[in-house]
Structure 1
Amino acid sequence: MRILGIETSCDETGVAIYDEEKGLLSHQLYSQVKLHADYGGVVPELASRDHVKKTIPLVKEALKEANLTSADIDGIAYTAGPGLVGALLVGATIGRSIAYAWDVPAVPVHHMEGHLLAPMLEDNPPPFPFIALLVSGGHTMIVEVKAIGEYQILGESIDDAAGEAFDKTAKLMGLDYPGGPLLSRLAEKGTPGRFKFPRPMTDRPGLDMSFSGLKTFAANTISGNDNDEQTRADIAYAFQEAVCATLAIKCKRALQQTGMKRIVIAGGVSANKQLRLELEALAKKVGGEVYYPRTEFCTDNGAMIAYAGMQRLKNGETSGLGVKAQPRWPIDQLEPIA
């Protein structure tokens, strides 16, 4: 089975082809970072229009890269949510239309399930069950994963997600958009211990998280200190350390609560080096393992959608002739794979 996956949930247009036996055959990605940089964040209408321009050319490039034609494709998978509704509708309508034209089934895919399954694209995929830390854009959650589709949310952010906190704090520091990766690079020059940020909601039971307070703490720290390069780096270090330590503490609790030993981290923030070090240290301490996708599959991409869609199509799921776009879609509402 060969599946063409289309990802258009936010500001990246991703198209990929996944073969059940051979693995990933092609992977095309276009980022809209330059388009939105002048606005300091994603402009939904501009994102939707750019997806309209880029999706079909990327489909053609994916087929060319894989040395395939439309006759070689057995199904279309498209991101149906969560995400920006206009952007989702672009990918959903294009995906459903291509499927109709090529006479193959189409299946809507949950964006966060795509991220959760992204490590399955690697040579050493995690076996089930495991704990998944999903840190992507406006989402931060810890999920107990027993099998594909068998998800229980153990904890999630009650306000700003980790990625949002990174981007907003970077903006406070005067860094360009998208600020999260730039803040992490600045933190590499920071001095450990000069500033100490709180670890929010770690002094109370439970696995829910909050990062808006860290952003406020960062704002007060920035305004109360000199704006020289080293001070900014030291603040970035302390902020990143606090976020990663908080996530590690919550993951440790999740492992203790479930008795599991395996952790999967996925989503854009999973590319953060400090977070990976924290969770690798945690896994080593408990005698477990940590898994994550390669860096290019941490951010939004078509490969994860193609893989997740293949699993859903094999399970007999399709969208029929309908088009699904669901900007709010809890991951624990998905059906388990039979």
Structure 2
Amino acid sequence: MAGKDHNRQTSKSGNAFPDFPFLSILVSGGHSLLVKSSSVTDHSLMASSADIAIGEALDKSARLILPESLLQTAKNTMYGKMLEQFAFPGGPADYSDYRPAMTRGEEQIKRESPWGWSITTPLANTRQLQFSFSCVPSTITRLFANREKANQPTSDDERVALARESMRVCFEHLASRTVIALEALRDQAGNKEQIKTLVVSGGVAANRYLMTILRSFLDVRGFGHVELVAPPPYLCTDNAAMIGWAGIEMFEAGWRTELSCRALRKWSLDSTSEDGGVLGPSGWTKV
């Protein structure tokens, strides 16, 4: 499973773009969203975070886990990227033996480290379509606070283990909720349009370990036929490119805006939201 290509940009049919309907996971420092898209303008929000975004959880964890010397010499504040590089200096080879939880029951098994700590899997006892990531940095914060009180150092080996476990818990939680959503859509009465593609976008989509976990979960949970599509890693963190491409999609679909339109700071996708979703703001015209 880990040896598969996790950076495919086209479907098996050779199409450069996924066919509707498809699921999208938006994972960044500010968002953790699972969205079903039925057209360029028709989107349904299936899950979001009850607390903090996955990117924020990983950034907070990284600032605690990474050695101070590494943080001081860093040339940027891309802590999530630094965490992945610190955890897996050998790249994909370092997690080539990864095996996903085969069942929901396996997800709930506590994994205690050789140092005596463990990170609880969020929402392990519920199938609620919701994300929660705050427990990961909270657990790590308590661990280092206790170490500081006891004047106990933390070795690099333990820091690497913490980095790997924090990512694993976050990514498997994301994958588990995605599988639950896919099962719900598959089991809906009269649902003839099956989901064939899972799109992953946002800054965290650049993490190759995340893509390995998602692909592995899909394969062992009955969704091996679902394509996993993500932008090239260098574009995952480019907000301007993502916004610009969304504009291109809308333009090619025949949508235009009047010159009186203003930029919106927050804008929902779901048409059932208070602001009306993509077409909610006034000023849209269809060519």
Is 1:218 the counterpart of 2:140? The answer is yes
- CA shift, 1:316, in A, is 4.0
Write the distance in 1 (CA, Å) between the matches of 2:34 and 2:82. 25
Match of 1:182 in 2: 82
Is 1:233 the counterpart of 2:160? The answer is yes
Point out where structure 2 has 5 or more consecutive residues left out of the alignment.
1-8, 99-110, 148-152, 187-194, 271-276, 281-285
TM-score by length of 2: 0.69
1:320–1:335 CA distance, 2 compared to 1 (3 A): closer
Write the distance in 2 (CA, Å) between the matches of 1:304 and 1:156. 20
Letter in 2 for 1:279: L
Is 1:136 the counterpart of 2:33? The answer is no
Look up the SS of the partner of 1:279 in the other structure. helix
Write the distance in 2 (CA, Å) between the matches of 1:128 and 1:317. 18
Q: Judging by fraction of residues, say which structure has more helix.
A: 1
**Does the 8 Å contact 2:23/2:35 carry over to 1?**
yes
- CA shift, 1:212, in A, is 1.2
Match of 2:170 in 1: 243
Letter in 1 for 2:120: P
Is 1:168 the counterpart of 2:60? The answer is yes
Question: How far does the alpha carbon of each residue in 1:191-241 deviate from its partner, in whole angstroms, 9 at most, with x for none?
Answer: 996353111113212111111121101112233453222111111111011
- CA shift, 1:140, in A, is 0.3
Q: Judging by fraction of residues, say which structure has more strand.
A: 1
Match of 2:17 in 1: 125
Match of 2:212 in 1: 277
Write the distance in 1 (CA, Å) between the matches of 2:158 and 2:145. 11
Deviates further, 269-278 or 259-268: 259-268
Match of 1:257 in 2: 184
Letter in 2 for 1:162: I
Write the distance in 2 (CA, Å) between the matches of 1:265 and 1:202. 23
Write the distance in 1 (CA, Å) between the matches of 2:209 and 2:118. 16
Q: Aligned to 1:197, which of 96, 109, 119?
A: 119
Match of 2:189 in 1: none
Write the distance in 2 (CA, Å) between the matches of 1:335 and 1:239. 38
Look up the SS of the partner of 2:214 in the other structure. helix
**Does the 8 Å contact 1:261/1:287 carry over to 2?**
no
Write the distance in 1 (CA, Å) between the matches of 2:20 and 2:178. 17
Letter in 2 for 1:179: Y
Match of 1:74 in 2: none
Match of 2:192 in 1: none
- CA shift, 1:151, in A, is 0.7
Letter in 2 for 1:219: T
Match of 1:145 in 2: 37
Write the distance in 1 (CA, Å) between the matches of 2:259 and 2:279. 20
1:303–1:178 CA distance, 2 compared to 1 (3 A): closer
- CA shift, 1:281, in A, is 1.2
TM-score by length of 1: 0.59
Look up the SS of the partner of 2:211 in the other structure. helix
Q: Aligned to 1:154, which of 46, 54, 65?
A: 46
Point out where structure 1 has 5 or more consecutive residues left out of the alignment.
1-118
**Residues 294-313 of structure 1 mapped to structure 2, 5 A cutoff:** 294-313=232-251
Write the distance in 2 (CA, Å) between the matches of 1:212 and 1:153. 21
RMSD: 2.8
Match of 1:319 in 2: 257
Question: How far does the alpha carbon of each residue in 1:27-84 deviate from its partner, in whole angstroms, 9 at most, with x for none?
Answer: xxxxxxxxxxxxxxxxxxxxxxxxxxxxxxxxxxxxxxxxxxxxxxxxxxxxxxxxxx
Write the distance in 2 (CA, Å) between the matches of 1:196 and 1:128. 40
- CA shift, 1:305, in A, is 3.1
Q: How many residues align?
A: 220
**Does the 8 Å contact 1:261/1:283 carry over to 2?**
no
Letter in 1 for 2:160: A
**Does the 8 Å contact 2:40/2:253 carry over to 1?**
no
Question: How far does the alpha carbon of each residue in 1:254-304 deviate from its partner, in whole angstroms, 9 at most, with x for none?
Answer: 110112342111111011111100111123232322111111221124443
